Chain A
Amino acid sequence: MARISSLAEAIRSAVHDGDTVALEGFTHLIPHAAGHEIIRQGRKWLTVIRMTPDLIYDQLIGMGCVAKMVFSWGGNPGVGSLHRFRDALENGWPNNLEIEEHSHAAMANAYEAGAAGLPCAIFRGYIGGDLPKVNSKIKRITCPFTGEELAAIPAHRPDVAIIHAQRADKTGNVMIEGVLGVQKEAVLASRRSVVTVEEIVDELPGGRSLNAVVLPHWTVGHVVEVPGGAFPSYAQGYYPRNNNFYKQWDDISRERASFLAWMKTNVLEKGPEAFDRYARRQHAAAE
């Protein structure tokens, strides 16, 4: 049952040391504010899952929160490498990082299998390449009807999913518009969830689209209002992606010292209200 919480309370209650956590978002609606709260609360030994780990995972890794990452594409899109991810993998700083690497198709199927309560995902993939040689969880399965050989991997069943959405109502029903990613599947696949939103409204508007994605209140754990909470990612209808910040991150994160200094000033010494200044409505047409 959805509970309207503060961010600190939601993370304290939902995310524990050693948990498997999926902070999802596919370019859009990436839960940066929630990630910062995990860092502030000093969570350790997390296994983090994400199709496209970018800046917020770079920050979690660089601050020593992560023991293992399960992923399919880890980079700063259109810019280059994740320097903290690479430093952990190539030099073991600030700690050794275990990886479990997949393709996008595999990850998306694994979330969907988790949401459907199945033990594994089955799909046509992983043919001929080297990923099955380095990831022992990639297996083959034979279709009992046609004999076709397909790929199988375990379903994702995270302890907790964390996503950002545009809106929730006071009961905790959640609405997402635009690039949907795998957020609905991630929440339904997880035991617990935290959903940060741009705003909590009295009633979700139905007029614009009757099929805008809604996670009904009983499928959601904590709902937290954090305006601007996806920045520098974007919230369709509210604020655009700050591509300039993604480019700046390349310099900030390149060296350990500049990274730590930035994290101290912008995360450790701040709270979720620091995201307020990025929040705005792009156009007021939706209401």
Chain B
Amino acid sequence: MADYTPKEMMTISAARALKNDDICFVGIGQPSAACNLARLTHAPCITLIYESGTLVTKPNVLPLSIGDGELCEMALTTVSVPEMFRHWLQGGRIKIGFLGGAQIDKYANLNTTVVGPYDRPKVRLPGGGGAPEIATSCGEIFIIMTQSKRSFVEKLDFVTSIGHVFGGDSRAKLGVKTKGPTKLITDLALWEPNPETKEMTVVSIHPGVTREQIQESTGWKVAFADKVAETPVPTARELEVLRDLQARTKRAHSEAA
């Protein structure tokens, strides 16, 4: 068995959640790593779309920013940002939105706006960007986040984008017709919403991780599914492709113009 880090396990587990025929709106950072790993392994025909307007893009290195030239050069076509949000996202043409966040709660609502009160922020975060409408316009949402008590919280300081709101049918009651978060992939486990309560529930635990570890890095009482699987370990090929991608990316981002 190959050695790997919890972060590699998270990225690989997230990549496995994607299929060859998926049409995916990709956030920068961890979501982008997972989506491109999927494309470079089991899902070569996956459609990746970045909010800078690049449709069906196949970057050789991971972008540092959402509108890097690499994304445009490797895209089938590039549309303007208003067209991106109106015709493609709002128009319902995207199946999966892949998001990260600074804080998440048990119903997978996300905060990327502020820690502390909005008017007197303890930490001002970048803000919502595309997330508020990605969260409601994409067919379903995958979320990738590293677990800690600071980020997995009982109550969000600010709801930037909704998940399952207060659970149950509260999302549908707002008039939202899309599914919302169907997968939460962390460095410790894979979570899915309970079909009734919509509370995010651990369905698969990564190898070597204990239930206690998951509870210790979560700010609410964790629900475990009746049958919890063990996530298969990364294959040698998954690790090789991911590490190559990250090494290429690091080299590219360190070059001075």
Binding site for B on A (CB under 8 A): 26-28, 51-52, 71-75, 77-79, 81-82, 85-86, 89-90, 101, 103-105, 108-109, 111-112, 123-131, 134, 148-149, 178-182, 184-185, 213, 231-232, 234, 236, 239-247, 278
- Classify the secondary structure of A's interface with B: loop
Q: Given A77-B66, A104-B81, A105-B89, is A242 in contact with B256 using a C-beta cutoff of 8 Å?
A: yes
Give 1 or 0 for each of B1-30: 1 = CB within 8 Å of chain A CB.
Answer: 000000000000000000000000000110
Evaluate contact between B81 and A123: CB separation under 8 angstroms: no
Q: Which residue of A lies closest to B54 (CB)?
A: A179
Q: Given A28-B69, A77-B28, A241-B64, is A104 in contact with B124 using a C-beta cutoff of 8 Å?
A: no
Q: Does B137 make an interface contact (CB < 8 A)?
A: yes
Evaluate contact between B160 and A182: CB separation under 8 angstroms: no
For B, the interface residue count at a CB cutoff of 8 angstroms equals 59
Chain B residues numbered 155-204 whose CB sits less than 8 Å from any CB in chain A: 158-162, 165, 171, 174-176
Evaluate contact between B84 and A178: CB separation under 8 angstroms: no
Whole-angstrom CA separation of A21 from B129 in the bound complex: 20
Contact partner of A73 among B89, B128, B136, CB < 8 A? B128
Chain B residues numbered 50-65 whose CB sits less than 8 Å from any CB in chain A: 51-54, 63-65
Evaluate contact between A127 and B256: CB separation under 8 angstroms: no
Q: Which residues from A are CB-within-8-Å of B52? A: 26-28, 179, 181
Q: Does B224 make an interface contact (CB < 8 A)?
A: no
Contact partner of A71 among B65, B125, B127, B158, CB < 8 A? B127
Give 1 or 0 for each of B74-96: 1 = CB within 8 Å of chain A CB.
Answer: 00001111101110011000000
- Classify the secondary structure of B's interface with A: loop
Evaluate contact between B69 and A234: CB separation under 8 angstroms: yes
Give 1 or 0 for each of B87-113: 1 = CB within 8 Å of chain A CB.
Answer: 001100000000000000000000001
Evaluate contact between A182 and B68: CB separation under 8 angstroms: no
Q: Does B253 make an interface contact (CB < 8 A)?
A: yes
Q: Given A72-B128, A127-B176, is A243 in contact with B253 using a C-beta cutoff of 8 Å?
A: yes
Q: Given A77-B64, A178-B78, is A129 in contact with B159 using a C-beta cutoff of 8 Å?
A: yes
**23 A-B residue pairs with CB within 8 Å:** A26-B66, A27-B68, A28-B69, A72-B128, A78-B28, A85-B124, A86-B124, A103-B128, A103-B129, A103-B132, A105-B85, A108-B86, A124-B133, A127-B136, A128-B165, A130-B159, A131-B113, A180-B79, A180-B80, A181-B53, A184-B80, A185-B82, A232-B257
Whole-angstrom CA separation of A129 from B174 in the bound complex: 11
> How many Å from the CB of B85 to the closest CB on chain A?
4
Contact partner of A108 among B64, B66, B81, B254, CB < 8 A? B81
Q: Which residues from A are CB-within-8-Å of B65? A: 27, 77-78, 241, 243, 246
Q: Which residues from B are CB-within-8-Å of A129? A: 128, 132, 135, 159-162
